[in-house]
């Protein structure tokens, strides 16, 4: 039972200007809304700004009895934690505040000879695979950017792909393996798609092990340029995994420690 009413001004004054996620709770402790922030103080404080006129925001604010926050080491980490919490708890205001839009997905059109991963929002009735849902369009675009950079997967539309006679700028800057002009075999491209799918499924460690085995194989065959490219892939994948400190697949026991302090201490 609460000893005193929630004071938003006092609460916001104690928040840090650091990335993290916030959980807005109702009078019965129910989860109303989950959000992520680049700066917790600025983002949470914006909800209690009298100048805000959005009726949906006002409806949410009226029901807030408490707010919990988790500070993260990066905005990307906050995004992942936000995604997991929304997926697990489905807070009702996360749906209301989206203006009735469906959550976005990453879509794999796997019937194409050289498939691509793309942003998708809408009914999932097209042939292919869907990964998600993600909490925002930004999170989908950021994930696609990382995967395309890491595995050099094409991001062009099929009509553009079918009419290429030479590699585009994406290939020149090292973001695409140029399957449109067959600079990569169908088998090797399929291998890259499979690796990207495993990362989306949470099997990044398995992909890392496979890449390291391919790197050693290339070195043993004195294919040092290929080995160096794979080494760079391994390094980029490990950096990507390091950003996912707060997300975990499956249910498992965990020891969690928190420090609570008064403002200014």
Q: What is the mean pLDDT of residues 170-178?
A: 88
Class of residue 263 by CB neighbours under 10 A (exposed 0-12, middle 13-18, buried 19+): exposed
- pLDDT higher at 51 or 187: 187
Q: What percent of the chain has pLDDT over 90?
A: 29
Q: Is 202 helix (H, G, I), strand (E, B) or coil?
A: coil
Which has the closest alpha carbon to 143: 212, 135, 112, 37?
A: 135
pLDDT band of residue 24 (cuts 50, 70, 90) is very high
What is the Cα 156 distance to its own chain's centre? 21
Closest CA to 189 of 115, 84, 136, 78: 115
3 state SS of 108: strand
The C-alpha angle 238, 243, 246, rounded to 5 degrees, equals 125
Beta strands in 135-246 (DSSP E): none
Contacts 24+ apart (CB under 8 A), 252-256: none
Q: Is the pLDDT of residue 2 over 60?
A: no
* pTM of structure: 0.55
Nearest residue to 143 via CA among 214, 200, 99, 71: 200
- What pLDDT score does 242 carry? 60
Q: Which residues contact 141 (CB under 8 A, 6 or more apart)?
A: 119
Let me know: does 26 contact 64? Beta carbons within 8 Å. Answer: yes
Least confident interval from 22-26, 146-150, 175-179: 146-150
Q: Counting every residue, how long is the chain? A: 265
pLDDT tens track for 137-173: 887 888 888 888 888 899 898 888 988 889 988 888 8
Q: Is the pLDDT score of 39 beyond 50?
A: yes
What's phi and psi for 11, nearest 5 deg? -65, -45
Q: What is the mean pLDDT of residues 205-215?
A: 84
- Bond before 133 cis per omega within 30 degrees: yes
When mean pLDDT is compared across 120-129, 205-214, 246-255, the lowest value belongs to 246-255
């Amino acid at each position: 039972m609460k000893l005193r009413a929630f004071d938003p001004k006092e609460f916001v004054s104690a928040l840090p200007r650091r990335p993290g996620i916030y959980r807005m709770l109702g009078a019965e402790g129910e989860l109303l809304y989950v959000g992520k922030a680049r700066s917790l103080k600025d983002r949470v404080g914006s909800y209690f700004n009298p100048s805000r006129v959005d009726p949906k925001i006002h409806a949410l604010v009226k029901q807030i009895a408490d707010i919990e926050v988790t500070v993260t080491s990066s905005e990307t980490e906050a995004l992942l934690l936000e995604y997991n919490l929304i997926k697990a708890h489905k807070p009702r205001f996360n749906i209301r505040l989206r203006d009735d839009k469906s959550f976005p997905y990453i879509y794999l059109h796997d019937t194409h000879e050289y498939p691509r991963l793309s942003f998708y929002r809408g009914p999932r009735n097209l042939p292919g695979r869907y990964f998600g849902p993600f909490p925002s369009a930004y999170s989908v675009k950021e994930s696609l950017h990382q995967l395309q950079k890491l595995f050099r997967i094409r991001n062009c539309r099929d009509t553009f792909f079918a009419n290429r006679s030479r590699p585009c700028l994406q290939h020149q800057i090292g973001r695409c393996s140029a399957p449109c002009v067959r600079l990569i075999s169908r088998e090797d491209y399929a291998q890259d798609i499979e690796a990207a799918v495993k990362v989306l499924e949470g099997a990044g460690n398995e992909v890392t092990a496979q890449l390291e085995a391919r790197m050693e194989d290339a070195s043993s065959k004195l294919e040092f340029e290929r080995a160096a490219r794979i080494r760079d892939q391994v390094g980029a994948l490990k950096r990507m995994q390091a950003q996912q400190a707060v997300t975990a697949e499956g249910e498992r026991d965990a020891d969690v420690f928190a420090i609570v302090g008064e403002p200014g201490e």
